[in-house]
Amino acid sequence: MKVVQTVFTGNCWRSGEDNVDQRVEVALIDDEGLDVMSVGFSEGEPEDMTLNRDLNDAYSIADLVEKVYELGRGGVVVTFESNTEEY
């Protein structure tokens, strides 16, 4: 099992800067490469937050942390990987 953090970078339309973090996704991936669970965060105006508009995805954060904790507690080795991709 592994936890994969992917940071998507791109151009900021307001400042004109390149390589600005636009989205972060954290996923728990099983040994076959399948996504067990994930959560994503997007940047932007406060009224455009995308932990989904109702913030329902916020509950996924606790579920993801609990799942990884239980895996580690059960002796499953969980590795961490971080990637950056162009958005």
Per-residue pLDDT reduced to its tens digit, 31-84: 999 999 988 877 655 455 555 555 666 778 888 899 999 999 999 999 999 998
* Predicted pLDDT of residue 46: 46
| Contact in structure between 7 and 82 (CB atoms under 8 Å) | yes
* Nearest Cα residue to 27 out of 76, 61, 72: 61
Number of alpha carbons in the 13 Å side-chain half-sphere of residue 33: 0
Report d(CA 51, CA 64) in Å as an integer. 14
* Predicted pLDDT of residue 74: 95
pLDDT, tens digit (0-9, with 9 covering 90-100), for 41-52: 776 554 555 555
How far is residue 2 CA from its own chain's centroid?
Answer: 13
Report d(CA 53, CA 39) in Å as an integer. 14
User: What residues does each domain of the chain span?
Assistant: 2-86
